[in-house]
Amino acid sequence: MPSDRQREAARMLRIAHRDLKTARSMLDTDLFDEASWGFHVQQATEKALKAWISALEQEYPRTHDLSLLGQLIIDCGGDPTRFQSLENFTPFGSRLRYDDEPDALNLDRAAWNQLCADLLDHVGSLLP
């Protein structure tokens, strides 16, 4: 029977998939601002990292800081190195979501969506 933390991990991962589904639908740069798309990638990443922490039977903090969440995974014995570049999305979950005219970064949305999907798949493989 799954522990409370494992159930929490599964719940967070389901929400992460919902955010990633939204990000994947936002590839058209004429229809969707980069800041809006990036927010959903950040949210999917944040929830996936929190799911990973829960899968390691730890409690995660209330934060949007992806670097902090990655460090907590390392501290618990996990290795998020492959997904570390997703930490660049932290500003999308905090500062950029309130910026009415953010500078465009012209990010490769499909590539970032795929890395985020790979993270979700990895975290899913940690669950019973």
Cα 64 from Cα 1, distance rounded (Å): 30
CB 13 within 8 A of CB 127: yes
DSSP type of residue 102: P
**Element spanning 13, H or E:** helix 4-24
Q: What is the pTM of this model?
A: 0.95
pLDDT at position 126 over 70? yes
- Output the pLDDT for position 89: 97
Instruction: Check residues 58 and 1 and name the one with the higher pLDDT.
Output: 58
- The string of pLDDT tens digits covering residues 86-112 is 999 999 987 766 767 778 889 999 999
pLDDT for 13 equals 98
- Counting Cα atoms < 13 Å in the Cβ hemisphere of 110 gives 1
DSSP 97: G
